[in-house]
Amino acid sequence: MKVSYLVLAAFTSVSMISCVSSKKFKAEQARYAELSDKHNQLQNDLKSCEDAKAEEARKRAGLESEIANLNKQMDFLKENNTTALKQLQDLSVISASQAESIKKSMENLGLKDAYIQDLQTQMAKKDSLNMALVMNLKGAIGNMEDEDINIKVDKGVVYVDISDKLLFKSGSYAITPRAEEVLGKVALVLKNQPDIEFMVEGHTDNNEIRGNIGIIKDNWDLSVMRATSVVKVLQKKHGLDPAKMAAAGRGEYKPVADNSTAAGKAANRRTRIVILPQLDQFYQLLERK
């Protein structure tokens, strides 16, 4: 009789364990599907941001080419007008229509010169605003000798690189207390610039994920979750507008150093905040052309 009770108890325990494992497995499947959907959406956001950056670079190159052409036209007009003005000293060799044509050329020259000056002023202003933003970020963060933080301007875009050893524990996407302090200082500067939009990019080295880290299966998942963790801190703890932010995972595919060395791997494990260019504001002056 005792043996029967023991067998019944063992069977009940096994059934309960099987039921719990099945529920946990289904929950993990649901979480993984949610992450996959979020990853696809973030990749679309990343492509849109990259297209915007490429468009700004293309327009900037065209703008610089236009300035060069206008400068050449100015030089040509100045040379011709110098000759024409000398002819004006002898009214017998120039007609009234020629004199009027010269006058219009001089006026046109003045307009082109003013347009060039306007373009150069706007470009200088944009560069100055970027440098001011960099200086504000450096001033807020403080000790810039720290190799774990790097702030720079490249082709008109401001980048803030933060080493993952400062932000996260190895293989984790949970923000460390030290990282929250640094992100708070960055958020203070960004909050004072409400028109600024930015993207948070997660980057990894090329080491494969080992073991089971929750729903993290590979470096794509890890980079996406780390970028999302940073965005959530900036939104929920520091009040930044979520409509001005984007989160994206780069995985191991945008390295800044050689992954064959330990130092290179450490440099590649980073989170990058990209201050996106404000194309609409910068190119408004072209509509006045």
The pLDDT score that the predictor gives to residue 115 is 53
Q: Can you name the CATH fold of 130-279? A: 60s Ribosomal Protein L30; Chain: A; (3.30.1330)
Give the torsion through C-alpha atoms of 23, 25, 27, 30, to 10 deg.
Answer: -140
The pLDDT score that the predictor gives to residue 14 is 47
Q: Which two tokens stand for residue 205?
A: 């080295």
In degrees rounded to 5, what are phi and psi of residue 272? -115, 130
Report if pTM > 0.75. no
Among all chains, which residue has been given the structure tokens 């200086």? 135
Q: What is the DSSP letter of 156?
A: T
Query: pLDDT tens digits, residue range 36-53?
Result: 888 888 788 778 778 777
The pLDDT score that the predictor gives to residue 144 is 46
Q: Which two tokens stand for residue 119?
A: 């373009």
The pLDDT score that the predictor gives to residue 116 is 59
Query: pLDDT tens digits, residue range 193-204?
Result: 777 889 999 999
Mean pLDDT of 77-106: 63
Least confident of 1-10, 165-174, 179-188, 194-203: 1-10
pLDDT band at residue 2 using 50, 70 and 90 as cut-offs = very low
Residue percentage of the chain with pLDDT more than 70: 65
CA distance 137 to 152: 10
Is the model more confident about 177 or about 134? Answer: 177
Residue 19 scores a pLDDT above 70? no
The pLDDT score that the predictor gives to residue 7 is 47
Q: Which two tokens stand for residue 171?
A: 């293989």
Domain range summary for the chain, segments of one domain joined by +: 60-129, 130-279
Residue 245 scores a pLDDT above 70? yes
Task: Write down the mean pLDDT value for the chain.
Answer: 76
